[in-house]
Every structure is written in structure tokens, then in C-alpha cells.
Amino acid sequence: MESRRGPLKSAVPSNIVSPVRRCSRTACGRPAVATLTYVYADSTAVLGPLATYAEPHCYDLCAEHSERLTAPRGWEVVRLLDGSAPAQPSGDDLEALANAVREAARPQERAAGAGGGSRTADPMEVARRGHLRVLRSPDN
């Protein structure tokens, strides 16, 4: 009976081969962050997030080369957004944030019928200015 050794048992460890995928551009050793695929039928180059595994007909690119990518004349470049990257805030987001700050800065209306100068607010509160409060020390 013959002993069959699998490829992993007979493999020689090497410091030359890295488990990190590298940019496909010649003489570029930077880590890949995007995958480029050509759709010849549509004359389109699709640049998207790094593919799960390397394929022979796709090209892995580093950040610099993916930003500078151009296509041949008559071709279109489609850049797919990476879902894990944080989205840039839109005008609506900034307006909602400004409205929330304005609301927090608005003075609170005090109850008028609660006996002249007495407050119904937190007994630890000493003073208030806009949305800021001065609190009494818990030791006092």
C-alpha cells in the first residue's frame, strides 16, 4: 500500500509568498483594495471592492492604482461603492444635525403655576443657561 501525501504536507514554507493579495500592476507590491473586471461585450471596466477570491480574468489593484484607473477611449468605467466604507453625510443629514442642536439650545419653558420661584426641575440643578446645566456636587 502506497502512502499518498497531500500537497500541504509536502509544501515547503516560504517567506517569499505572502497571504495578502497584492496589486496586479507590474512592479507594484502594495496590498490590493479593489478588483477590476472588464466586460468586453459592453465596453465597460467595473471597479469594485476586493473580490472574495482571486480569479484569473480579474485584476486586483491597490488604492493608488484604483483611483488613477482610466479606460480605453469609448469605454465606460463603473465604480461600485464599498458597502463597508462610511458614507459621506448628505445635506439632509447636516440639516437634521443643525436642527437637533438648535432644539437642544432652546430654553426650557418653566411651569408658571408652581408657586412663584420654585422649580419642578432636578433638585441637583443649580443653574441653567441654554442647554447647559450646572449641577450641585453629590457630596453637598
Which residues are 134's β-sheet partners? 127
Question: Which of 38, 36, 85, 30 is closest to 63 using CA atoms?
Answer: 30
Based on the number of CB atoms within 10 Å of its own CB, is 85 exposed (0-12), middle (13-18) or buried (19 or more)?
exposed
Q: What pLDDT score does 52 carry?
A: 86
Which residue would you say has higher pLDDT here, 89 or 112? 89
**DSSP code of residue 22:** B
59-104 pLDDT, tens digit per residue, is 999 999 999 999 889 999 999 876 555 566 677 777 888 888 888 7
Q: What is the pTM of this model?
A: 0.48
Q: What pLDDT score does 108 carry?
A: 64
11-65 pLDDT, tens digit per residue, is 555 555 557 889 999 999 899 999 999 999 899 999 999 988 888 889 999 999 9
Q: What pLDDT score does 133 carry?
A: 76
CA torsion through residues 61, 65, 66, 72, sign? negative
- What is the rounded CA–CA span in Å between residue 36 and residue 134? 57
* Number of C-beta neighbours around residue 79 at 10 A: 13
Contact 63, 30 (CB under 8 A): yes
